[in-house]
Every structure is written in C-alpha cells, then in structure tokens.
C-alpha cells in the first residue's frame, strides 16, 4: 500500500488529525517557506505524536551539523533535503536522508544515481521555492528512473484529491507527499487531508 506524507505541518491539532486519518508521515519545514516552523514549535508538536508516524524535517542547503542538531532536538526520523546538497551528505549523516529532486528533464532523473539516500523525492521543477510550489510535472519522466531507485520514490508536486489516482497509476510510487493540495486559503484543511488519505489508501 502506498504511504502518505502530509507536509508543511504547523500546528498540533492538524498533526493529530492527520495521524487519526491514517497519515504515515508528517513533514516539518525548517527552510524558508510560507510553512516554515521553528525548532521549538516542531518539538512541541512531535512530542505529542504516535511513535509509529514518521517525522521528517525539510531543509534547503543547510549544514549537516545544524540539521542533525534539529533532528535530535525534535526527534526527527529523516532529513529531507531540497537544495544542492553534495552526495557525500547522504553517507556522513547520522540521520537517514530523503533527497529531493526538481524534475523537468531526463537529466534531472539521471542525477539521482549519484546519491545513496534512503528515499528519493521527485518534485516539480517550477516555482519560487525549492519545494512546495504546488505545481505538477510530467509524471511519465519518472518511468526512466533506475530500477534500484524506483522502489524508494516519493512523489510530490501539485498532488490533490482530483489527480492523485492518475499520478499513482503512472508513477507507482512508494509514497506520495502532499502539502498545498490539502490546504484551503493557505492553511491545512482537515477535511481535505482525510479525503486525500482515503483516496490513496483505497487504490
């Protein structure tokens, strides 16, 4: 069954409701973003969450020392990297790495082979931020991913209740990552979160 990650969590109530709805993982953005959260805010939310739910910190071009510090303070299970991080960081990190790639061409897919990450997130190449821009990309490109990587692919970028089944059918991902697709006027919408998770799990 495909896993679901709800990203951009900023408050405890939404986090708890997402867990109740069946979210497998929650993402906390520490990089510059409209969904950015502080270490203390994230820690106060994570401390109240079920241990079975995976906690992921999202970073962009941050030092490994700082990421590991935040990871330890907040109890993060994974570090999700959305910048131009060196492949060596995947080997040096004491916390498992999810490396994100902005996909626009086949060359972007090829770059994934340089990283020995625990998982690989594919996102849209368009937008102001390194991730979380709410736009889709040509999912057919993902079919060209190396087979050894394909089983660890997390699909992100503009996913919502209207396109998730089509996206899953084309990509066949290990997990899907949604943020703006479960928001209303820039805030997480619990009703949309419940519906999105239900659609993924029933597929």
Cβ 193 vs Cβ 155: under 8 Å: no
The mean per-residue pLDDT over the stretch 138-151 comes to: 91
pLDDT digits (tens, 9 = 90+) for 167-181: 999 999 999 999 999
Cβ 150 vs Cβ 171: under 8 Å: no
Tell me how far apart the alpha carbons of residues 97 and 79 are, in angstroms, rounded to a whole number. Answer: 5
Cβ 5 vs Cβ 15: under 8 Å: no
Tokens of residue 176, six digits: 């899907």
Question: What's the CATH fold of domain 3-201?
Answer: TIM Barrel (3.20.20)
Cβ 155 vs Cβ 167: under 8 Å: yes
Cα distances (angstroms) measured from residue 16 to each of 6, 48, 166: 11, 8, 28
Tell me how far apart the alpha carbons of residues 163 and 16 are, in angstroms, rounded to a whole number. Answer: 25
pLDDT digits (tens, 9 = 90+) for 57-71: 999 999 999 999 999
Tokens of residue 117, six digits: 């990450």
Tell me how far apart the alpha carbons of residues 26 and 40 are, in angstroms, rounded to a whole number. Answer: 16
Helices (H) and strands (E) in the chain, counts: 8, 10
pLDDT at 128: 56
Instruction: Give domain limits for the chain.
Output: 3-201
Q: Is the pLDDT of residue 31 over 80?
A: yes
The mean per-residue pLDDT over the stretch 155-160 comes to: 96
pLDDT at 202: 94
Tell me how far apart the alpha carbons of residues 152 and 173 are, in angstroms, rounded to a whole number. Answer: 7
pLDDT at 133: 53
Q: What percent of the chain has pLDDT over 90?
A: 88
Please identify every residue annotated as catalytic.
7, 123
Binning pLDDT at 50, 70 and 90, where does residue 135 land? confident
Nearest to 88 by CA among 65, 59, 115: 115
């Amino acid at each position: 069954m495909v896993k679901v990650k709800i990203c951009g969590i900023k408050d405890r109530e939404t986090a708890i409701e997402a867990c109740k709805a069946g979210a497998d993982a929650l993402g906390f953005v520490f990089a510059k973003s409209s969904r950015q959260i502080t270490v203390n805010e994230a820690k106060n939310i994570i401390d109240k969450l079920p241990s079975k739910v995976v906690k992921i910190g999202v970073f962009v071009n941050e030092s490994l020392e700082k990421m590991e510090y935040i990871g330890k303070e907040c109890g993060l299970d994974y570090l999700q990297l959305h910048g131009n991080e060196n492949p060596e960081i995947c080997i040096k990190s004491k916390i498992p790495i999810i490396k994100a790639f902005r996909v626009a061409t086949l060359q972007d897919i090829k770059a994934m082979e340089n990283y020995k990450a625990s998982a690989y997130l594919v996102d849209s190449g368009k937008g102001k931020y390194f991730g979380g821009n709410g736009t889709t990309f040509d999912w057919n490109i993902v079919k060209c991913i190396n087979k050894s990587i394909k089983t660890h692919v997390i699909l992100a970028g503009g996913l919502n209740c209207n396109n998730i089944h089509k996206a899953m059918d084309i990509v066949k991902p290990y997990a899907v990552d949604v943020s703006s697709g479960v928001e209303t006027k820039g805030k997480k919408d619990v009703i949309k979160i419940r519906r999105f998770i239900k659609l993924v799990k029933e597929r």
